[in-house]
Amino acid sequence: MDCRFVVYEEKRETTETTSDFAYLRMLAKNSGGELLDESALKETVKRLSEAAAIEANAPPIIKRKRAWDRTLIFYLLFGILGMECFLRRRWGMV
């Protein structure tokens, strides 16, 4: 039995698992980020936790108040709807 060729399906995503640091550094530089390695990890975690604590204690920039939480809007809306219902019955439009 002769064999002319052998086909081998190589899955490169499972065989080549090393990081391409030159590409990652270029990607981070072009996107405005930074490439972190093991030596900078402790400092980065410390910096992020300090920033999160400062942001958690900061007052909100915009304080939103819903229109439905105001009683004036509630009374005004139901007053207009009640007046409309009353006038329809009075003028015989119902």
Is residue 41 situated within a structural domain? yes
* Cα–Cα distance, 68 to 62 (Å, whole number): 18
pLDDT reading at 78 higher than 90? yes
Is residue 38 situated within a structural domain? yes
C-beta of residue 21 within 8 angstroms of C-beta of residue 15 = no
Q: Quote the pLDDT of residue 1.
A: 64
Is residue 42 situated within a structural domain? yes
Structural domain that includes position 46: 12-58+68-90
Count the domains in the chain. Answer: 1
Is residue 4 situated within a structural domain? no
Is residue 7 situated within a structural domain? no
Residue with tokens 């065989």: 15
pLDDT reading at 24 higher than 70? yes
The H-or-E segment that residue 84 falls in is: helix 71-90
Share of the chain above pLDDT 90, in %: 35
Is residue 33 situated within a structural domain? yes
